[in-house]
Structure 1
Amino acid sequence: MNTENKIINDLNSLKELRQSWKEDNLKVVFTNGCFDIVHLGHIDYLEKARNLGQKLIIGLNTDESIKTLKGESRPINDAYARARMLAAFQFVDAVILFGEETPFNLINSLLPDVLVKGNDYTIDTIVGAKEVLANGGKVETVELVAGYSTSNIINKIKGE
């Protein structure tokens, strides 16, 4: 298997793939994030998300969007490395980069069956939730593993 095949470079191709899964009656789950230094918290979160359906799509922030969100010293790993790491997971079916401030355009274009974020969000604060719900989909939050974050790992490496 070539993990690069799971990295989708344009939205139209992903929409076609999503449509084929829909025609096969497969429940499609979508989540998004930076996934800069992949750790146990990410793995647990993504497994839980995938278990809510049969296919998992990840919207991955571009390097430029992470710099805007997290500061000039981030990301640690570039977009290609982060996408390949995520694509290597058996439970990930597609990864697509997005450079906008939020994944709204991706979510609104794909209209997944299930939209997932961590339980540090509430359904009313999840971007795209209204659109997914209006299309008959579900919005779920999953419990996060306490103590695991990229920022914590970076601080530990720095000795902070």
Structure 2
Amino acid sequence: MAEQAPAQPSPGPGAQFAPRMQVLAQYVRDLSFENVLVQKGAGQAEIQPDVQVAVSLDARKRSVENQYDVLLKFKIANKNKVSGDMLFLLELEYGGTFLIEGVPEDQMHPFLLIECPRMLFPFVRRIISDVTRDGGFPPLNVDNVDFLSLYRQELARRAQTAQPH
């Protein structure tokens, strides 16, 4: 006689479902690479790169139920420490469309700006590495971004600007 698996209890009213996230699309929304070093015809003078990375995030609800667009914006300026001259400027806007279910409304904002960017970041890192290499520079491998810390900093900044002086 074959054994049957015990029946799974159905969730009762008010039961929480596990969050479900699916990446529906990923895309480069905007990409710019300005190779200032080549444009200026700079020679092989002493170069000590100084890379500055700025990251910003944006998320919007789509008209389709449970779908959201998340956009990561990276601005990377590489200057020569010796002369202060710009070597290159890279700007990348990389987006993803997500289907998200089972996340309570009060947790959706942090979910969109922490978990979704974590999913997209490896692709952003590869694009930045490829573009800088193709631009004639050593491939730039951007350090991991702590999206939780970035989110907390933005909340603190907003709270500070909201306070009357």
TM-score range, shorter chain: under 0.3
Q: Which has the higher helix share?
A: 1
Larger Rg: 2
- TM-score, normalisation: structure 2: 0.27
- TM-score, normalisation: structure 1: 0.28
Q: Which has the higher strand share?
A: 2
